[in-house]
Amino acid sequence: MILEEIPSPPLGEFGRIARFFKPLAAGFPGARGLRDDAAVFGVPEGRELVVTTDAMVAGVHFFPDDSPADIAAKLMRSNLSDLAAMGAEPLAYTLVTALPRGLDESWLEGFAAGLGEDQRQFGIALAGGDSVSTTGPITLSVTAFGLVPSGRALPRWGGRPGDRVFVTGTIGDAALGLEIAYGRLDIPDGETRAHLLRRLRRPDPRTTVGPRLIGLASGAMDVSDGLVADLGHLCEESGCAALLRAGTVPLSDSARGAIDGDPVRLALAITGGDDYELLFTAPPSARDALAALAADSGVAITEIGELNPGPPGEVTVLDAAGATLPLARRGWDHF
Ligand SMILES: Nc1ncnc2c1ncn2[C@@H]1O[C@H](COP(=O)(O)OP(=O)(O)OP(=O)(O)O)[C@@H](O)[C@H]1O
Ligand SMILES: Cc1ncc(C[n+]2csc(CCOP(=O)(O)O)c2C)c(N)n1
Ligand SMILES: [Mg+2]
Ligand SMILES: [Mg+2]
Ligand SMILES: [Mg+2]
């Protein structure tokens, strides 16, 4: 038997923590080297801590055979998107992994590498976590901590009738990507397909735009369940209704090509979710400042509708011709 074929003994729970997670906590003193029972860190004067949690389950949020680095990126970025929606800057995160006993250590190696890459890209560090085994599918959860100027966190409930509705980036890429991944949508063009799948697996959280919406946006949230559903959530909290002009919703060239004028696919794009873009409201007087922010940040900001004094939570969706766009559902609902 040659040396390479001798299987190395399993690392075990604590060996895995030492090998894969301690390096991710090295730059954050509050993590105490992952050697203590908990993390300890302070908040600078004049700032508040923003805390958000999101979980992901194999078969529900991602495909079991997705690359572990992509799974890590989606887990991290969905939480970073929530921080951005609050106007907060990333600080640290904790991580819970529930993994099947037989899962190869190389999976964890790819997962940790993905986390490390995003830590560097977004300026966030591992503060602690928990590692457990599961008899079910891979289940992961991140709790992210961010900082916001005291009293300035962006609320979902600040929208007022007359405010305009804005969204960052493009909408629908991930929903179309999911259809491709499930084999329900055939897109022959390789570049188009790759872009939509990339946006499904690696969303682009708007971490630089979020904090700069403080003082401009009246209400804000991020789009995870679907644009129409999430606008409904914002409206419900703001006690008003909204008009959404589907023809003005920003689409990537890839999404535009995939939709190809089909109203069913357009409906999918605005209800499918997994966008991780920012959805916010602002008075028309903020338009110039928002255009300047978009130019400066390199992230598109597009006006897509307005709030009105209708029934709280009601969202009317018009197509480009001004007719009501029929929707089978407004967005994702777990139950
Ligand atoms: N199990 C739970 N325990 C306590 N609070 C919860 C629980 N589930 C949701 N929440 C709270 O309910 C609110 C709405 O949660 P929701 O998950 O819809 O928001 P989100 O995380 O922004 O969206 P998404 O999960 O789709 O990314 C949040 O304030 C969240 O903290
Ligand atoms: C394999 C697979 N099937 C379906 C979906 C779609 N999906 C799952 S949960 C969710 C809402 C956001 O999650 P949450 O509300 O839990 O934060 C969406 C749009 C997916 N991404 N992968
Ligand atoms: Mg959530
Ligand atoms: Mg959110
Ligand atoms: Mg949700």
Question: If the chain, 335 residues long, is cut into consecutive pieces of 10 residues, what is the mean pLDDT of each piece?
Answer: 73 95 97 98 98 98 98 98 99 98 96 98 98 98 98 98 99 98 97 98 98 98 98 98 98 98 96 98 98 98 98 97 94 98
Alpha carbons 229 and 101: distance in angstroms, whole number: 37
Separation of CA 296 and ligand 4 centre (Å) = 24
Does residue 57's CB lie within 6 angstroms of at least one atom of ligand 2?
no
- Burial of 129: CB neighbours in 10 Å, binned 0-12, 13-18, 19+: buried
Q: Which class would CATH give 12-149?
A: alpha beta
Q: What is the pLDDT of residue 5?
A: 76
Torsion of CA 282, 286, 289, 295, to 10 degrees: 50
Q: Could you tell me where in the chain the CATH 3.30.1330.10 domains are found?
A: 12-149
Does residue 332's CB lie within 6 angstroms of at least one atom of ligand 2?
yes
Q: Which ligand is nearest to the CA of 56?
A: 2
Does residue 82's CB lie within 6 angstroms of at least one atom of ligand 1?
yes
Atom of ligand 1 nearest to the CA of 222: 22
CATH number of 164-318: 3.90.650.10
Does residue 277's CB lie within 6 angstroms of at least one atom of ligand 1?
no
Alpha carbons 21 and 18: distance in angstroms, whole number: 6
Atom of ligand 2 nearest to the CA of 331: 19
| Residue 203 CA from chain centroid, whole number | 6
Alpha carbons 216 and 172: distance in angstroms, whole number: 25
pTM, rounded to two decimals: 0.97
301 Cβ contact list (under 8 Å, min separation 6): 166, 167, 168, 209, 290, 291, 293, 294
Q: Which ligand is nearest to the CA of 233?
A: 1
Q: What is the pLDDT of residue 206?
A: 99
Q: Which helix (H) or strand (E) holds 149?
A: strand 139-149
| Separation of first and last alpha carbons in the chain | 53
The HSE-up count of residue 294 (CA atoms within 13 Å, CB side) is 16
Q: What is the pLDDT of residue 3?
A: 61
Which residues are known binding-site members? Answer: 37, 52-54, 61, 82, 129-130, 156, 222, 224-225, 274, 332
17 Cβ contact list (under 8 Å, min separation 6): 34, 131
Which residues are known binding-site members for ATP? Answer: 129-130, 156, 224
Q: Could you tell me where in the chain the CATH 3.90.650.10 domains are found?
A: 164-318
Separation of CA 205 and ligand 2 centre (Å) = 16
Q: What is the pLDDT of residue 303?
A: 99
Separation of CA 26 and ligand 1 centre (Å) = 30
Q: What is the pLDDT of residue 22?
A: 98
Q: What is the pLDDT of residue 96?
A: 98
